[in-house]
Amino acid sequence: MSASTTDSAMPLEPMPDATRAAAGKAKKQPDIVRPYGDTTGDGMVQVSFTLPVPHDKRAEGAALQLAEKMGLKPALLVHAKAMGPDFTFFVVYGSVTHLVDLRDVTVVEREFPLLSPTEVNKAIKSRLRRKLVVVGACIGTDAHTVGIDAILNIKGFAGEKGLEYYREVKVVNLGAQVLVPELVERARAEKADAVMVSQVVTQRDAHIHNTTTMSAAFREAYPAGQVPLLVVGGPRFEEGSAPTLGVDRIFGRGTTPGEVASYLVHALAQPSSRKEKP
């Protein structure tokens, strides 16, 4: 997940006349675009895929046939490698005729400002008057802790320290392959304000199944309105799917600890916050 541009807490300085003039002369971005390879608008793209066939000339022909059906014409096979005796991995390069209308692209905008660690600590202290408790884990059979560790561990990610660095945040990192009942039990024991789950394994939509199972378990275990904030992260979650999965927030690739911390503060500030506890 990549972090969005930071929102300044201070008033913006007026734009100098020279800067404003330069901005006005900036080249207008087109609405309709094509992929770029060797020259502008040539439509060249590179795709990779695996076919369940042994590596031979027939397999390479099948890869080119698939590429043409995908709209790459002409298609050039630039790489083929056997993946065991029964599979072959391909990389194909070619031109597509498809166009992209940027006016039809929709994105989920970040609705909260990015705060510094000092601002996060100050907000938590003033609103909760105690430490914010975060319980994190990789659930199911997922053993990939890189994502959850990047957010929770003090070493952090992308030059930002993890939530363990924030003095007003108590972090309980349960690690990998945690069963959902264990996660619920520990969250209750710690009186968690937020539960963070990382899901990297996505075969057969395991991340979807695990997330919906987890959210249902928390709603069954907690009284209405007292469920901790449920936050999920992973590279394959779709933006805007949080309500469908029963969670409060989804973070994708490139998310930084500061972005997560800022979101927690934002969530605490909501009038309907479920994090206020006696």
Catalytic residues: 155
Query: Phi and psi (nearest 5°) for 17?
Result: -60, -40
- What DSSP string runs through 223-275? -TT-PPEEEEE-TTPPTT-HHHHT-SEEE-TT--HHHHHHHHHHHHTSTT-S-
Q: What is the dihedral sign for C-alpha 217, 220, 221, 224?
A: positive
Task: Return the structure tokens found at 250.
Answer: 């989804």
Q: What is the dihedral of CA 11, 16, 17, 21, to 10 degrees?
A: -90
Residue 168 to residue 129: CA distance in whole angstroms: 9
Burial 48-86 (b: 16+ CB within 10 A, else e): eeebeeebeeebbeebbebbeeeebeebeeeebeeeeee
13 burial class (0-12, 13-18, 19+ CB within 10 angstroms)? exposed
Q: What is the DSSP letter of 236?
A: T
Buried b (16+ CB within 10 A) or exposed e, 113-140: ebbebebbbebbeebbeebbbbbbbbbb
H or E element, residue 134 = strand 132-138
Quick one: tokens of 136? 């994190």
